[in-house]
Structures are given as structure tokens and as C-alpha cells.
Amino acid sequence: MPTDLPPVDKAKFVAAKRASAYVEDGMTVGLGTGSTAAWLVRCLGERAQTEGLRFRGVPTSERTADLARELGLEITTLEEARWLDLTIDGADEHDARLDLIKGAGGALLREKIVATASERMIVIADASKKVETLGACPLPVEVIPFGWQTTCALIEEALIGLDVMGREVTLRMEGEAPFVTDEGNHILDLHLKRIGDPRRLGLMLNQIAGVVENGLFVDICDVVVTGYADGRVTLH
């Protein structure tokens, strides 16, 4: 383990290290986005150096692609790979059913496409990501820039009558300008506090014109690897 890491990074590192052992020679692997996924990419870089591990990575963001390239890892595109053996990614929240909220890092669209093209999805997380009910953290929804204000109003209207506690919707900003995803879209963050029925909400959101994808991952994740600052790791 790298020395002098803050406790939360130690937890992320041990989860990533454990999950990196799932990658076998010759696999095609989805590489997630975020600080935990960055540890995974570094652990895989280490295995490539020390053991000669050979695999093809499909990065879920430009950030992850840059890191993988820096480490000399072989990367490819989803267009070329088509199907993957495994995706390993972080999450903002997961519940006991292994349903997830993802997208705080703004990469939910590519992350969901890559995860659903994979035989298995493994989530790596520190213990703070486990929740009873999804929704304490904002739910990101990727929308096309054209008429995003109308899309926002349609989402607010659709939330009425759903099993959620909050209904505030905000446009994600980066400095003075709206945040732009790798696909050139914007992100609306839904502050729902509690999501009673993630499947229903996810289906409802994706029916709204202007919505590209939402950050609810329902029945996609197979395993959650949780790391702790003392070096322990648990699997769910």
C-alpha cells in the first residue's frame, strides 16, 4: 500500500487492489471513472509491470483513458471490443440489493453502456458508499444541452407522485459554465433524499425527451468490494 494515504484513500486502495485480482490474462475489462477507479487502474498497471498481465481496457472517460495510457496499459474502444468480460468501477451509493447511484464524476453514460456490455460488473468502494435506501447523494441525469430547461421542468413535474422525499433539480456547473460531459451533454442533479423505487424512477426518467441516461444502475452490479482503512476488505 502506498504510504501516508488518508484513511479514505487507504480504503479505496485496498478495495481496488482486491478487485484487480479478478482481471485475468487476455480479458477485455471496462475501466471505471473516479478516485477509486483510478486506484484500480494503478493496481492493474502494477500487475502489468510485475507479472506481465496482458488485458485490453475499455475506459469509461477521457480521464481514465489518459491515466491508462500514462501507465502503458493497452486500451481499446467499445466500438472495437463490443463485449467485455468484466467492468470494475466506483459508485456514489449502493444498497443491499447492489443497486447503485453513479455519476458524481459526470461519466455515468459511458459507465452504464460499458457496464451493461460486460459479463460482470464489480463495484469498488469505501464503506461510506453503503446505504439503506438510495438517494442521500444527488442522482445525476445526463441531458442534451438543447432545451435543457424544458427537460428540467419535465423531470420536476414527473417527480410529483413518485416515492421520493426531495424534488429539487439543479444544473451541474463547472465554474461559471454548465458542466459538459465527454459526450457533450449537461448533467442535472436530482436532490431526492430518498428513492423508494429506483427501477420505476429510472424507467420514468429515461422516457422524458431530452434525457440521455440516468445514474441509477439497477440489476447491473454483481459484486461490491468494500475496503476499510485498516486494510480489511469485504465482498457483498
The answer to whether residue 91 forms part of the interface with ligand 5RP (CB under 6 A) is: yes
* Whole-angstrom distance, CA of residue 142 vs CA of residue 172: 10
Shortest distance (Å) from residue 26 CB to ligand 5RP: 26
140 vs 210 by CB, closer to ligand 5RP: 140
Among 90, 135, 210, 227, binds ligand 5RP (CB under 6 A): 90
The answer to whether residue 108 forms part of the interface with ligand 5RP (CB under 6 A) is: yes
Shortest distance (Å) from residue 32 CB to ligand 5RP: 5
The answer to whether residue 88 forms part of the interface with ligand 5RP (CB under 6 A) is: no
Catalytic (active site) residue 62: no
Among 10, 42, 102, 172, binds ligand 5RP (CB under 6 A): 102
54 vs 97 by CB, closer to ligand 5RP: 97
Among 107, 134, 201, 224, binds ligand 5RP (CB under 6 A): 107
Amino acid, res. 72: G
**Only segment of 44-52, 107-115, 193-201, 218-226 that touches ligand 5RP (CB under 6 A):** 107-115
Phi, psi of 202 (to 5 degrees): -60, -45
Query: Which residues sit in the known binding site?
Result: 33-36, 89-92, 102-105, 129
The answer to whether residue 81 forms part of the interface with ligand 5RP (CB under 6 A) is: no
* Whole-angstrom distance, CA of residue 126 vs CA of residue 5: 14
**Only segment of 18-26, 102-110, 113-121, 227-235 that touches ligand 5RP (CB under 6 A):** 102-110
The answer to whether residue 189 forms part of the interface with ligand 5RP (CB under 6 A) is: no
Cell reading at 19: 478487485
Among 14, 18, 32, 169, binds ligand 5RP (CB under 6 A): 32
* Whole-angstrom distance, CA of residue 16 vs CA of residue 13: 5
* Whole-angstrom distance, CA of residue 51 vs CA of residue 227: 24
Instruction: State the Cα angle at 219 between 109 and 159, rounded to 5°.
Output: 65
Give how far Cα 95 sits from Cα of 48, 84, 121, 147, 168, Å: 33, 25, 15, 33, 22
Shortest distance (Å) from residue 68 CB to ligand 5RP: 15
Torsion of CA 232, 234, 107, 37, to 10 degrees: 40
Task: Find, among 215, 217, 212, 148, the residue nearest to 183 by Cα.
Answer: 212
Q: Give residue 15's Cα distance to chain centre.
A: 15
User: Exactly one of 51, 79, 111, 213 is catalytic; which is it?
Assistant: 111
Give how far Cα 187 sits from Cα of 34, 139, 152, 158, 236, Å: 16, 10, 10, 17, 30
* Residues labelled catalytic: 111
Which residues would be at the binding site for ligand 5RP (CB under 6 A)?
Answer: 32-37, 89-92, 102-108, 111
